[in-house]
Amino acid sequence: MTLGGLRAVFLAERAMLLRLLVARLGSVEEAEDALQDLWLKLETVTGGPIAEPVGYICRMANNIAVDRRRRAVRRVDRDTGWMETQSGADEQPDAERALIARERLARVEATLARLPDRVATAFRLFRFEDLPQKAIAERMGITVSGVEKLLHRAYLRIHVQRPDSGADVARAGRLPHEEDQRDGR
Amino acid sequence: MVDEWTGQTNVDAAADEAVAWHLRLPSAGAEEWRAFTDWLEADPAHGDAYDALARADAELDDALTPPDWSDTVPLAAANDDRAAPRRRWALAAFGGLAAAGIGVVMLPLETDRAMRIVETPGGVRRAVVLADGSRIELNGGTKLAIDDGAARLVTLERGEATFHVTHDAAHPFVVQSGTMRLEDVGTVFNVARVGPHLGVQVAEGAVMFQPERERIMLTAGAALSHLDGEAPRLSGVAVGDVGGWRNGRLVFQRTPVRLVAAALERSTGVVVQVAPGLLETPFTGSIGVTGGADRLIPRAAALIGARAEQVDGRWRLVGGHAGP
């Protein structure tokens, strides 16, 4: 699909995309901003046929919404004080997030270990290997709706029934500053 | 809803529906997206439940693709649009199973368990978690065949990976590359394959090189360099430098420039050739992988004491001021 093609789809579906973004972001103003991001983002779409262009653009819009919401939540976290004591907070989040992410992954693994093998396998294939549900179904020898059921259970346990919903955010040390160095000269 | 393992009934309806939507959206068409929007608008609790779920799930991406990699990730893998390119790439890896039979014939397929092929294009890194909890971080330009059955066997066909192995004495973890084998003794180690060259560096614990033959025990801080057909060479490495590519830092100790170029290729996805006179020149130092290839490669060339020339989108390292 060409850039022109995607833009035509965007323009045809603009009202619906705006509705989706307003529903996701909670404000018309922010939704308009996100829509602008989306328009610019279309330029970065590289080749390859897109079977379902409307679904594709909606997915892009939703991904933009997820990013914006994550940034907004992080801002709130900062404003409510847990990072206030640290200088250079603007540079901190990456190191901080990397550590949180690793911890999160460890917790996910621990949760998976307690789930039935098939549930854990479906989740790993879907989330860690990015296989579509259809491919997982073939791999596991079950139906696509069977895969969806397994994933549904995994998601509920991992993301919804978390006993510790991010309250115990760990502190990361600043990563060593990475610079070029030349030894022995 | 009743959870069948614990009998808990603490999942509210909105969260349950949010999960169903979240799983359906990657393959949703126009109608389903409309229905999803209707659902979001129907009740603020729906939006909140979906938002919390989507953010929690996105957090996992940080673990699978750490944020400090974003500089070197080409546009096609930029995370705003991750669903499409990453899935296409996963599909390619899956479709590659049949073709990969050629590359992995040395691995017996005694069960119906399919070999997993995991491949990264240049400049794109990712992590894979095995069934036993072991974790493998793949540098760009890397191809692994994983059999996480009883044998715990991973074949590094090309490229570079850091292994965080969950030790299990009864089921040793084996990394095979070319005809060389490594067996873990509970460890974190990095393995790189560039054509006939195999490099191994150990950060934690120990790993056995060629357990059936030379039986060389490599402990934390040990580095081994092996060229097909020759005897392995041992040296040392600062533990913190093992797998430095994961933090965007490439560290070299008397490393031939051709291997430095291969490391730059893996990190950037850009082809880096080396003038013949420079291939074996040893380089000691570290290179921060930041910014685009256009800035990085000339900077790296200067550190090496060479010059970088760009021809037809390929970079070439040639002798510096003093000639090759």
Residue B141 backbone phi and psi in degrees, to 5: 65, 35
Q: Nearest-CA residue of chain A relative to B59?
A: A101
Same fold, A3-79 and A92-160: no
The number of CA neighbours under 13 Å toward the Cβ of B17 is 15
Q: Tell me the three state secondary structure of residue A181.
A: strand
Residues 140-179 of B with CB under 8 A from A: none
- Contact A181/B286, CB-based, under 8 Å? yes
Least confident of A80-89, A94-103, B82-91, B250-259: B82-91
Taking domain B71-245, whether its CATH number is 2.60.120.1440 is answered by yes
Domain spans, chain B? 13-64, 71-245, 248-319
Residue of A84 and B264 predicted with greater confidence: B264
pLDDT band at A83 (very low <50, low <70, confident <90, very high): very low
Q: Is B43 on the interface with A (CB under 8 A)?
A: no
Domain A92-160 is of which CATH architecture? Up-down Bundle (1.20)
Instruction: State the burial class of residue B151 (Cβ atoms within 10 Å of its Cβ: 0-12, 13-18, 19+).
Output: middle
Share of residues in chain A with pLDDT > 90 (%): 35
ipTM of predicted complex = 0.80
Mean pLDDT of A121-140: 86
Q: Is B87 on the interface with A (CB under 8 A)?
A: yes
Report the C-alpha gap between B286 and A98 in whole angstroms: 22
Chain A residue with the nearest C-alpha to that of B10 = A161
Q: Which residue has the tokens 């000339």?
A: B298
- Give B-chain residues touching A55 at CB under 8 angstroms: 27-30, 32-33
Contact B81 A59 (CB under 8 A): yes
Give the nearest chain B residue to A13 (CA atoms). Answer: B30
Confidence category of residue A119, pLDDT binned at 50, 70, 90: very high
| CA gap B221, B187 in Å, rounded | 12
What does the pLDDT average to over A20-37? 94
Chain B residue numbers touching A24 (CB-CB < 8 A): 40, 47, 50-51
Regions of chain B short of the pLDDT cut 50: 1-10, 66-113, 322-324
Mutate to test the interface with B, among A66, A91, A151 (most CBs of B within 10 A): A66
pLDDT at B31: 94
pLDDT at A48: 63
Reported as a pLDDT band with limits 50, 70 and 90, residue A132 is confident
Query: B248-319 in CATH: which number?
Result: 3.55.50.30
Structural element, H or E, at residue A182: strand A181-182
CATH of A3-79, one of 1.10.1740, 3.30.70, 1.25.10, 2.60.40: 1.10.1740
pLDDT, tens digit, 9 for 90 and up, residues A39-69? 888 887 766 667 788 999 999 999 999 999 9
Domain ranges of chain A: 3-79, 92-160
Residue B84's pLDDT is what?
34
